[in-house]
């Protein structure tokens, strides 16, 4: 479990470097946790339609991950996701979770 967290941190850094070196920059800050299927108590996944901006992030990360780890399959469990919206308005900064 702890190994998954460390590997995910490294993977996020590699992904950001990959995006910086390519012409595939993202318009949003996107990070992931890649977890071993047998080590975590996952719930059953369900069908979910992502907004276009997030769908682009998922597709780019899947492409990156597949190039790094051939033969592995990503299973996106959206029920375990979280997001933040940061708004800079009215002379203040607000974060919505």
Indicate the domain borders of the chain.
2-96
Instruction: State both tokens at 21.
Output: 């070196």
Residue 47 contacts residue 75 (beta carbons within 8 Å)? no
Go through the chain and tell me how many residues it has: 97
The pLDDT value recorded for residue 88 is: 82
pLDDT tens digit string along 31-86? 888 887 776 676 776 777 888 988 999 999 999 999 988 888 888 888 778 888 88
Architecture (CATH level 2) of domain 2-96: Irregular (4.10)
pTM of the entire structure?
Answer: 0.79
């Amino acid at each position: 479990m702890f190994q998954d967290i460390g590997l995910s941190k490294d993977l996020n850094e590699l992904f950001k470097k990959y995006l910086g070196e390519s012409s595939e920059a993202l318009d949003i800050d996107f990070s992931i946790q890649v977890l071993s299927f047998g080590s975590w108590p996952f719930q059953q996944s369900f069908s979910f339609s992502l907004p276009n901006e997030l769908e682009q992030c998922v597709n780019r990360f899947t492409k990156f991950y597949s190039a790094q780890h051939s033969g592995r399959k990503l299973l996106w469990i959206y029920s375990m996701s979280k997001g933040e919206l940061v708004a800079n308005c009215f002379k203040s900064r607000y974060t919505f979770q």
